[in-house]
Amino acid sequence: MNDESSTIEDHVEGLEHAARRLSRAACVVVVTGAGASAESGIPTFRDTMQSLWKEFDPQKLATPEAFDANPEVVTRWYDHRRLGCLAAQPNPGHGALATLEQHLADRGGEFALFTQNVDRLHQRAGSRRVYELHGSILEWRCASTGHVITPPPTPFEAFPPPSPFQPGALLRPNVVWFGEALPEEALRAAWEVTPRCDVFLTVGTSSQVYPAAGFVDIASQAGAFTIEVNKDPTPASRRVDVVLRGTVGRVLPLLVSRAFGPGVDGQG
């Protein structure tokens, strides 16, 4: 069931099983990570950054300590990524999750999507009930007053960008760094809906960062059928009911089309 080296072609049985459970579910919860946006050209968090950022470790830059120590480097990195997110387009994996939500809505079911991604691609693909666990890179906030703005789609003129809300203060991305609290509303929704879902999907995440990495266990312990979609093994792989090994952009459209009928995987 949880063979970690094979691909979706070897898992037709797993795919059919997962699709059957999905087709009968009244409540579906999904958690996504950077792998969901990889096919949109956005580098995953634990990939080596390309070109001018390759010498920086994202895990070290995504901390309040890095911002305090070197706000120029940190804000340049985030602005570079912000412009990349604005230029990116949703991929078929994002589309399949929006389609899944619509299918559930059509029959009076419930759907909730918890994303660790900061790129807003789920919303742009049409997903409606999306909770941003780690904030959004498209918003920035005053590091002193907390006021939030959406900067224009052009690079900041100065680094670190000055805050327009308080003289001498800086802007920082409105994201959640290590050691910072996640948005209360998103967490409350996760604790409320996860234990009562029928099917839980963990999609394109390395399942290393908490609390999101723990959602699958909450769902599983409460009796949900759990599915992982990932191109590589993760710590969650051995704990889920079915592993669908492959890329999100290929596996999710297949899964949703098997569960709800043709039309979403482009194969009629």
Strands 225-230 and 242-245: parallel
Name the minimum Å distance from CB 266 to ligand BJW.
17
- Residues 191-230: x where in contact with ligand BJW by CB under 6 A, - otherwise, as a string: -------------xxx-xxxx------------------x
Can you list the positions of beta strands (E) in the chain? 27-32, 110-115, 130-132, 135-142, 148-149, 171-175, 199-203, 225-230, 242-245
Q: Judged by CB under 6 A, how many residues of this single chain contact ligand BJW?
A: 33
Say whether 134 is catalytic: yes
- Separation CA 104–CA 99 (nearest Å): 9
CB-nearer residue toward ligand BJW: 27 or 56: 56
Query: Taking CB under 6 A as the criterion, which residues in 34-63 touch ligand BJW?
Result: 34-35, 38-39, 44-46, 62
Confirm or reject binding of residue 232 to ligand BJW (CB under 6 A): yes
Query: What's the token pair of residue 69?
Result: 């120590």
Confirm or reject binding of residue 179 to ligand BJW (CB under 6 A): yes
CB-nearer residue toward ligand BJW: 13 or 180: 180
- Separation CA 212–CA 210 (nearest Å): 5
CB-nearer residue toward ligand BJW: 210 or 267: 210
CB-nearer residue toward ligand BJW: 22 or 133: 133
One of 17, 80, 231, 239 touching ligand BJW (CB under 6 A)? 231
Give the binding range for ligand BJW (CB under 6 A) out of 157-165, 175-183, 216-224, 235-243: 175-183
End-to-end CA distance of the chain: 29
CA dihedral 63, 73, 207, 256 (to 10 degrees): 130
Write out the DSSP string of 52-67: GGTTS-HHHHSSHHHH
Residues of the shown chain interacting with ligand BJW in the complex, contacts defined by CB under 6 A:
33-35, 38-39, 44-46, 62, 116, 118, 134, 175-182, 204-206, 208-211, 230-232, 234, 247-248
Positions marked active-site:
134
